[in-house]
Amino acid sequence: MGRKILLITTDQQRYDALGCNGGAVARTPAIDRLAASGLNFHQARNQNTVCMPERATILTGQYINTHGVTSNGIPLPVDAPNLAAYLNDNGYRTALLGKAHFEPASHTEYFENWAATKGETGPHRGFDRMELCGHTGRPGRSLTHYPRWLRDNFPGDVDGFHEYTANNGPSGRGGGDSLAPQVWHNPIPRGHYHTDWTADRTIAFLDSLGSDEDWFVWMSFPDPHHPWDPPQSELDRVDWRDLDLPPGYPGSPERTADILRDKPRHWLEWFEGRGQFNFEVPADLVPAQLTADQIREVNAMVHVENELIDEAVDRVMGHIDGLGWGEDTDVFYTTDHGELQGDFGMLFKGPYHVEGLMHLPFIWRPAPSAGVTPAEIDAPVGHVDLAPTICAAAGLVVPEWMQGAPLPTSVEDGKGRERTITEWQDGYAGNDIVMRTLYRDGYICTAYEKTNYYDDGVGELYNLAEDPAQWRNLWDDLAQQSLKSDLIADLYDNLPEGRDEPLEKVAQV
């Protein structure tokens, strides 16, 4: 028998969302306990800052140019080697419950979008069972299992969700108290919301397993990704009027514009509504017009959703313990990417390699029977390391097609790690942006490659120790040119080679 493995992911959750990472608003005791009894990686960063590329990296253990999902809208090939299939071939029962997003959300030809219609739950991509959800309970806007379950069992709850629109369309109903974009008060009962549904489906799958079976379960919550419409009954957990603005909020549109003038030009053009650079934000959003109250209310909604996730995690962990499996279960907790949440006066995500989007919550609670000593680890790690770690925990040889390495299990073990690499390759509205970013020794260095939008020689350089908000771009600072050259050389010396032929982008998201 190998160890049992639970992978928990959220969608669009910041590093500082959790109490164990310094979060001071949302109460996350269950996740904090996992961190305290395991390994909390404080310098984890993703390999891309949007969903599909990063989820493909989690599943394959490969960088984006290797697995080929370089942007949203590119489906991961069904026959691509992946962690779930490898575990399944080696005797593991496997399931993914919640959000998958390895396939475009708007194409019915893909399994994720027709399985529920046909009453199917797999097998698919090495998962014996997949029961899927997205960010809404409206069947007309999501083709997955959850909205059909809601329609069939509680049809009166369907219309309580935000009128979800494609992200490049209008931001939809501004709601709540401040009319913030994609905020809405949802009258759905707590137990019918997709966070609890995802936990329920996970528990049901665990109950279907024999006590002697090895299993890998990916429990994938779609929150705290927008639209921000948690159950209205839970909103009194956090009153947005009581919140401070985030430390990364410059204080006014004028101050923000001053900061952004020192960055590559797409930053200010998007802030002022003069350009659109990715599909993942509402097309009619002008960040400069967001009010401080709107940012506070969005943050309050996110904190509420994070508390609901923590309580769902607690329920599933309690169930695993009740089944007698807790001592032999490895638990991993992370997200795909973060959210700006008011940093630079902005919301959402995109081609912006800043800590709010790259820096990840990343926790591994090894099975207690493995005897790993809890530790706070500052070695740089990434999602590319997750699949190899799970293979090692399962007692399997890490396959050669995985490009990461098993995570360190102590501070000493992590000393040989030096860097993480994050990339962006996408275009929108005729504006193509390619960015390669290195984190090393407390610096963030981003080189922009020549495209139809940018010439050579454009970039960003930040000293996180002196400038954690990344307000001062040191790229052109004469005193930093030797350091910059060293970091750029290190970046390209360690950049993995890509595929011979790029994959086709068949949709925007």
pLDDT attached to residue 222: 98
- 269 inside domain: no
Assess if residue 499 is contained within a domain: no
Q: Which residue positions in the chain have pLDDT lower than 50?
A: 166
Range of the domain at 368: 4-252+283-416
Alpha-helical regions (H) of 329-419: 355-358, 386-393
Tell me if 28 is assigned to some domain: yes
Phi, psi dihedrals of residue 205, rounded to the nearest 5°: -65, -45
Backbone angles phi, psi at 181, to 5 degrees: -65, 135
* Separation of alpha carbons 165 and 185, rounded Å: 16
**Does residue 230 lie in a domain region?**
yes
* pLDDT given at position 173: 64
- pLDDT for 165 equals 62
Instruction: Write the burial class of residue 209 (CB in 10 Å: 0-12 exposed, 13-18 middle, 19+ buried).
Output: middle
CA atoms within 13 A on the CB side of 94: 21
d(CA 365, CA 41): 11
Q: Which residues of 33-64 are buried (b: 16+ CB within 10 A; e: fewer)?
A: bbbeebbbbbbbbbbbbbbbbbbbbbbbbbbb
Q: What is the pLDDT of residue 137?
A: 94
Structural domain contains residue 313: yes
Q: Is residue 258 part of a domain?
A: no
Mention every residue, 6+ apart, whose C-beta is less than 8 A from residue 294. 178, 179, 180, 181, 183
Q: How many domains does the chain have?
A: 1
Rounded CA separation 38/139 (Å): 39
CATH number at residue 45: 3.40.720.10
For residue 376, how many other CB atoms are within 10 A of its CB? 12
Whole-number Å distance between alpha carbons of 118 and 444: 47
The predicted pLDDT at position 106 comes to 75
Residue 480 neighbours by CB distance under 10 Å: 16
| Angle in degrees, CA 119, 122, 127, rounded to 5 | 150
Terminus-to-terminus CA distance in the chain, angstroms?
39
Write out pLDDT tens, residues 129-143: 999 999 999 987 678
**Unique residue bearing structure tokens 């970091």:** 487
Alpha-carbon distance of 8 to 332, in angstroms, equals 6
Contact 484, 443 (CB under 8 A): no
